[in-house]
Structure 1
Amino acid sequence: MESLFQFLHYNSDYIILGLLVLMSIILVWKVIERSLFYKKVNINDYATIEELEIDLTHNLTTISTIGSNAPYVGLLGTVVGILLTFYHLGSAGGDLDAGSIMVSLSLALKATALGILVAIPSMMFYNGFGRKVEENKLKWLAEQKKVVK
């Protein structure tokens, strides 16, 4: 059990923060891809609204998944940090320093803050792109009504 706590003590920040950085990189990649696609999409190239919707919503699930799970990854880092703080307190015996406890707990909260920092723009982009999807679908429907008349 001691080796697990040692491993977590030395690696938990790297694992959690690395995962959040990876999620951020994927988010930026998908946002750029979707932005470029929405700029060049031609709704007249689609025969059915289903084909249009498939192309319009591509990668939106990834953006949404990052936005909804980043806070949980951050929370996991915070829980591990608090767990390690309590373990250190328990193993220190009577040598309790309130300052070091507060520093450890405040550092544990950084993971949650970073998780939220990743989630907020992710959900903003997801909602904005969702609006673009609806706009393009409505434009396609309007074009179809013009063709029928």
Structure 2
Amino acid sequence: MELLKAYLDYAVFGILGLMGFIALWITIERQLFFKKVQWQDFPHHEHLNLALTHNLTTLSTVGANAPYVGLLGTVLGILITFYDLGQGQSLDTAAIMLGLAIALKATAAGIAVAIPSIMAYNGLMRNVDVINAKFRAQIEQK
């Protein structure tokens, strides 16, 4: 239990930090790709769509799962708080509230990673739709 207590914050925030970095990297990479993509060069609509949506599933997965990682950190933090209280002989309300408040920061961090990730995913999917529409319009004009 002491090992969990010592490294819980590092593990949870490390995982969330990695997830946030991946989401940011994918967002920047896709934006740069969308700016330089030549949709006229694709022979078929599905080839274009595959190129446009590359890595977007990963971005969506980060956004969908970051709150769960944060929630896991919160649950384990609460477990540690109750374990520590069970080991002591007195019931201190301040210690309980402090332990719970500290445990909740993991959920807040998970949500803080998830919201921008989902917003980026939705914005990038809008770009995919726009580029696909331009491609279809080009095909129909021929």
Q: Normalising by the residue count of structure 2, what TM-score does the alignment of the two structures yield?
A: 0.98
Q: Deviations over 1:36-55 (max 9, x none)?
A: 00111111010000100000
Q: Which moved more, 1:95-104 or 1:10-19?
A: 95-104
Residues in 1 aligned to 2:64 and 2:40: alpha-carbon distance in whole angstroms = 34
**Counterpart in the other structure of 1:143:** 138
**Counterpart in the other structure of 2:108:** 113
User: CA-atom RMSD, angstroms?
Assistant: 0.7
Q: Normalising by the residue count of structure 1, what TM-score does the alignment of the two structures yield?
A: 0.93
Q: How many residues align?
A: 142
Which contiguous aligned blocks of 4+ residues in structure 1 show a shift greater than 6 angstroms?
none
Q: In percent, how many aligned pairs have the same letter?
A: 53
**Counterpart in the other structure of 1:43:** 39
**Counterpart in the other structure of 1:17:** 13
**Given residue 47 of structure 2, which amino acid in structure 1 is its aligned partner?**
E
Tell me the secondary structure at the aligned position of residue 91 of structure 2.
coil
Q: Is 1:90 equivalent to 2:86 in the alignment?
A: yes
**Counterpart in the other structure of 2:95:** 100
1:79 Cα offset (Å): 0.2
1:103 Cα offset (Å): 0.8
Structure 2, unaligned stretches of length 5 or more? none
Structure 1, unaligned stretches of length 5 or more? none
